[in-house]
Structure 1
Amino acid sequence: MAGSSGAGLETYNQKRDFTQTAEPPGRKAGKTGRSFVIQKHAATRLHYDLRLEMDGVLKSWAVTRGPSLVAGEKRLAVHVEDHPLDYADFEGTIPKGNYGAGAVIVWDRGDWSRVDGDYAKGKLEIELKGEKLSGRWHLVRMRPKRGETRENWLLIKSEDAAARPPDAPDILSERPESIQTGRTVEDVAKGADAPSKPAKPPAAPRRKPRAKADAPVAKAAPSAMPDFVEPALATLKPSPPTGPEWLHEVKFDGYRLQARLEGTEVRLLTRSGLDWTDRFGPDIPDALRALPAQQALIDGELVVESGAGASDFSALQADLSAGRNDRFVFYVFDLLYLDGQDLRDVPLIERKGILEDLVGPEPGRVRFSAHFGETGSMVLRHACRLSLEGIISKEADAPYRSGRGKSWIKSKCSARQEFVVAGFLPSTTSDKLVGSLALGVYEDGKLDYVGRVGTGFSAAVAEDLRSRLEEMRIDKSPFVRKLTADEARGVQFVHPELVAEVEFRAWTADGLLRHASFRGLREDKPAAEVVRESGPAGAAPKAQKRRVALTHPDRIYWSDEGITKEGLADYYAQVWTRIAPFIVGRPLALLRCPSGITGQRFFQKHAWRGISKHIAQVKDPKAKDEEAMVAVNNLDGLMALVQSATLEIHPWGSTVADWDRPDTITMDLDPGEGVAWGAIIAAAEEVRQRLQDAGLAAFVKTSGGKGLHVVAPLRPKADWPTVKAFTKGLAEAMAADSPDDYVATITKSKRKGRILIDYLRNQRGMTAVAAYSTRARPGAAVSMPVAWEELDQIGPAYFTVTNTPARLDDLAHDPWEDFRTAARPLEGKARRSKA
């Protein structure tokens, strides 16, 4: 991100620890000059730093692919913080763990002068007089995209006597050495001393420039740009392949698109060749147009990401329906053609390297899809733990081949595929909505019935589906077999033309879907191509069977996410064995929302008239005249809470068997405005250490809101006043030790930029949201137990009703598996950690 001359050196100094790095401290010089330097920097990613002396500092740009002497060739230059003038002589290694760690050499330097334009206005034509580079150059600031934090420029060589033709040697390869010491960046990385005599630079060839591409890539075929290329498709396998010849990428959950860049014209084509450029707004085409290429064919996937970075097809569908395009991101993972070269026969790993250079490292609207070289099973396990859809494994040396083949293998974290919509049931709550869809797959040209999906569509989507399906109604069932009376009851059959993407937990033994959830319509795939991808497996999902009847199961509780009463019941059935230890046999406070999260809501801790027989009623021994409180003892009780519109479950920290001796401590870390996620993690780690210092084990979970809960299991020995005094002392000690970071008082005016260490959950009658409980907030987040090492990979509301079951299915180890066995009695006291 660009820094102004006033604040740039402050930013420079803040990013560096000068006790560890030999880089010079940032001091603004009084003199004014016109020196320039280009430093070759082998950091996480090799790049070249262009620095121009202006106003006593070095204005700096990271040129991702380095400067090019080919006239008209565009190179991305990311504006970074100002550097001090002394930095022009810096050559050496920035130690690991420091900002910009890696080897640096002084690749070129000299003087520059302004030919035309104005730096402040983002258009600057300069002339360089260096030892390697000379002639005129353009620096042009690009129009920022919405939400983009970096400042992107383009570095473009002018047409002049210093320009080289495209087939001339690349100056970067021709002259890799430092003009200060003669060392290469590899020499510096190895710690080699400077040679006694710097290498003499060879004479640069001077030929008549031609407006063409770079020198050909090995194995690339010079050719005209092909027409639409049918995409390569992955074959579904139950597990990823093994071996060093495979690389593994994240499987995205969006629309597969081929981007065609021809000069200033950009088109986005679906996997069947439909032109969908106009559907996605101007930002993605603009970002592609800004790439340093004249012609390109790029394979990728357009997605909408959740707050924690996971792609979300439902959110993509919702944004398209709403005409919203500010969240679209285009992840690119293959390059088929570039500036006169057909790359399809080039090995994948080389194609990806060229693509990475083309796109650059910064996260904009177009992003490079990185790959992993670890074992496929490890990558898949990690992806599933983070509730991603799965991975794609690809042969590193394979060419690009259209159609479904064996060089691309997909492995999924949860069962998900497309199904044909062949009927619908009207909603029981509105005559404008669908309640559920009847689904099928084709086998030998005939449509097989596979069951229904009744959750996952928002009210807007349900209304749109009802409108579309009403016009497609037919009198006769399109399924090959006659449906049973239960299957056919209430179904309005339609022409089997629409394709729905559905996530589900398993196939039943008779080939029907279990716990299905709608993700969106796939308008890029014809219904006739939809077949059963896997199953029936014959094994039911790991979930308890529901026995409590639900009235109005299609009532929508989370409108934007399309989660219905039935969807919530399915979720709790799947996580029952996990949530049970934290809610069974405890007094509960419930947040009930009869009309969903957008309607009336109220907390309830006492029994109500007409309460289900499956919900237990318990009496507080210290409140003999008070109404009975509520508790649950089994899955039926939890399902009865769902039926009564309970969207949050808040248990006591003690059980009804021992009301006055808590068995759980919960420290709620509630961030004020402006607190970064990393600061919340640091606070949780400090609470963990203080609990451990007191002899207690510490576990962590997301709150489903903005913060974290650090939870300690107790042997029920101490009473409530003792536990409250301990937790209060812990919170106040943290606030006293770090008053700029933490507060222990609830007053909101004191919390801006700080984290409230809320200990008030830990007193008699108070509650905290249960592990695995849903939250009555947009996004349908849940309070999720996680491993400590997961915290920097997620966000506070990362886990939801939608993605939690897949995570739990694929967890190799439950991070809270030893929660109760780790319980210890409270014997220590919280103490200050600083003098």
Structure 2
Amino acid sequence: MASDAAVLTVPGPDGDREVRISSPSRVLWPELGITKLDLANYFVAVGPAFIRANGGRPVSLQRFPAGVDGEQFFSKNPPRGTPDYVRAVDVTYPSGRVHPQLVLDEPAAAVWGVQMNTVVFHPWASRADAPDFPDELRIDLDPQPGTTFPDVIAAALALRDLLDEFGLTAFVKTSGNRGLHVFAPIEPSFEFLDVRHGVIAVARELERRMPDDVTAAWWKEERGARIFLDFNQANRDRTMAGAYSPRALARASVSTPVGWDELGSVDPAAHTILTVPERLNTVGDPWEALHEGAAPSIQPLLDRWEADAESGLGELPFPPDFPKMPGEPPRVQPSRARKP
């Protein structure tokens, strides 16, 4: 009979910590029989790479108390009983409300997240010491119906080259599902709205170069069979699954950093919590150098945003839960808009 709890020893910067995992035999991924303890052990194995990519940032926990097929909810603020090695930082949400949000600084904190039934970790693009100023530009390449994963790869490679023209170095990871996430380190000197405008400028330029392949259209009815460059993921409090975070999908896939030279042969379905630890041991972490050295400014992107604005290309729609923003067009899909 399985015990009611397991205790894991988790190495970290301040030495080993003992983290208790209750209900260790609870099955989180029914099709594979992967348990809560399996997930906790996964984070022990990938802890240094996970924290390097996601640590020191406000983070939201996507929690599944009954497994990935059951109900879920998000936690942002520290719950009762949070250990002293898990901290919080005050952040400002789009509504203007200020509230403390969790910050993970060491692998034991991620394992504690598993104890809280977390499956997916969603880190902010900014760090806890400057939460209003992103140090990562992030673009979600979202395949639309009628597109394939090779289509996503082609868009990602073109995006990498375009970012290079603007002086930014791109890194890529699988989303854990059908898409890819492209990140670039940036100087944390511009606020979220500016970074969003920079992403829109990139998306529009790539759309001009590849009009049949990619789109920056917010409304699904206008996207067609193209790869959507989701500019709204650059907004404040909008996040995606972090690097090395599992996804709540049946195959227990992981959002996995890959090298650009791997992209042509990568199989996102092959990267799971069962395989990624060994991949890290043999291949290493393609994102290890993501934040090494000085990060560039996004000013060249903002210059392009301003040039587009002068030519009549203005603001794009915000997510529906955001307050109405200055210059934003009506939040109604084109087919339902009133005709003049």
The two structures have a TM-score, normalised by structure 2, of: 0.80
- In the TM superposition, 1:426-445 aligns within 5 A as 426=2
The 1-side partners of 2:70 and 2:250 are apart by 12
2:189 equivalent to 1:727 = no
Q: Of 581, 590, 593, which aligns to 2:52? A: 581
2:62 equivalent to 1:591 = yes
Offset at 1:817?
2.6
Offset at 1:705?
1.1
Q: Of 3, 20, 40, which aligns to 1:569? A: 40
- Which deviates the most, 823-832 or 663-672? 823-832
2:178 equivalent to 1:706 = yes
SS in 1 for 2:127: coil
2:168 equivalent to 1:696 = yes
Instruction: Return closer, same or farther for 1:609/1:817 CA change in 2, 3 Å cut-off.
Output: closer
Paired position in structure 1 for 2:322: none
The 2-side partners of 1:542 and 1:799 are apart by 25
SS in 2 for 1:620: strand
Q: Which has the higher contact order (CA 8 A, sep 6+)?
A: 2
* Bigger Cα Rg: 1
Deviation string, structure 1 residues 756-805 (Cα, Å, up to 9, x no partner) = 10121212222222111111111111111111111121223331100011
Unaligned 5+ segments in structure 1 are 1-424, 429-434, 436-453, 455-513, 516-539
- In the TM superposition, 1:281-300 aligns within 5 A as none
Paired position in structure 1 for 2:124: 652
SS in 2 for 1:598: coil
Paired position in structure 2 for 1:608: 79
1:670 maps to amino acid:
D
SS in 2 for 1:548: strand
2:210 maps to amino acid:
S
1:701–1:783: 8 Å Cα contact kept in structure 2?
yes
2:218 equivalent to 1:746 = yes
- In the TM superposition, 1:169-568 aligns within 5 A as 425-426=1-2, 547-568=18-39
SS in 2 for 1:650: strand
Offset at 1:754?
1.2
Instruction: Return closer, same or farther for 1:644/1:792 CA change in 2, 3 Å cut-off.
Output: same
Deviation string, structure 1 residues 219-260 (Cα, Å, up to 9, x no partner) = xxxxxxxxxxxxxxxxxxxxxxxxxxxxxxxxxxxxxxxxxx
Paired position in structure 1 for 2:325: none
The 1-side partners of 2:257 and 2:270 are apart by 12
The 2-side partners of 1:674 and 1:717 are apart by 39
1:607–1:627: 8 Å Cα contact kept in structure 2?
no
The 2-side partners of 1:607 and 1:751 are apart by 39
Q: Of 617, 620, 624, which aligns to 2:91? A: 620
1:617–1:628: 8 Å Cα contact kept in structure 2?
yes
Deviation string, structure 1 residues 446-493 (Cα, Å, up to 9, x no partner) = xxxxxxxx9xxxxxxxxxxxxxxxxxxxxxxxxxxxxxxxxxxxxxxx
SS in 2 for 1:701: strand
2:240 equivalent to 1:768 = yes
Paired position in structure 2 for 1:69: none
Paired position in structure 2 for 1:789: 261
Offset at 1:747?
2.5
The two structures have a TM-score, normalised by structure 1, of: 0.34
1:545–1:573: 8 Å Cα contact kept in structure 2?
no
Deviation string, structure 1 residues 397-453 (Cα, Å, up to 9, x no partner) = xxxxxxxxxxxxxxxxxxxxxxxxxxxx3475xxxxxx9xxxxxxxxxxxxxxxxxx
2:271 equivalent to 1:799 = yes
2:214–2:227: 8 Å Cα contact kept in structure 1?
yes
2:2–2:25: 8 Å Cα contact kept in structure 1?
no
1:546–1:573: 8 Å Cα contact kept in structure 2?
no
Offset at 1:829?
2.2
1:654 maps to amino acid:
S
Paired position in structure 2 for 1:490: none
2:134–2:192: 8 Å Cα contact kept in structure 1?
yes
How many residues are aligned here?
300
Deviation string, structure 1 residues 94-114 (Cα, Å, up to 9, x no partner) = xxxxxxxxxxxxxxxxxxxxx
The 1-side partners of 2:115 and 2:155 are apart by 38
Paired position in structure 2 for 1:777: 249
- Which deviates the most, 678-687 or 821-830? 821-830
The structure where helix makes up a greater share of residues is 2
Instruction: Return closer, same or farther for 1:426/1:573 CA change in 2, 3 Å cut-off.
Output: closer
Q: Of 110, 121, 136, which aligns to 1:638? A: 110
RMSD: 2.8
2:68 maps to amino acid:
I
The structure where strand makes up a greater share of residues is 1
The 2-side partners of 1:568 and 1:667 are apart by 27
Offset at 1:554?
0.9
The 1-side partners of 2:88 and 2:118 are apart by 16
2:169–2:184: 8 Å Cα contact kept in structure 1?
yes
1:606–1:627: 8 Å Cα contact kept in structure 2?
yes
2:240 equivalent to 1:755 = no
Instruction: Return closer, same or farther for 1:541/1:663 CA change in 2, 3 Å cut-off.
Output: closer
Instruction: Return closer, same or farther for 1:829/1:627 CA change in 2, 3 Å cut-off.
Output: closer
Unaligned 5+ segments in structure 2 are 306-340
Offset at 1:724?
1.0
Paired position in structure 2 for 1:474: none
Offset at 1:707?
0.5
SS in 2 for 1:599: coil
SS in 1 for 2:228: strand
2:258–2:286: 8 Å Cα contact kept in structure 1?
yes
The 1-side partners of 2:97 and 2:236 are apart by 17
The 2-side partners of 1:595 and 1:671 are apart by 30
SS in 2 for 1:547: strand
1:702–1:797: 8 Å Cα contact kept in structure 2?
no
Deviation string, structure 1 residues 22-75 (Cα, Å, up to 9, x no partner) = xxxxxxxxxxxxxxxxxxxxxxxxxxxxxxxxxxxxxxxxxxxxxxxxxxxxxx
The 1-side partners of 2:92 and 2:179 are apart by 34
- In the TM superposition, 1:42-53 aligns within 5 A as none
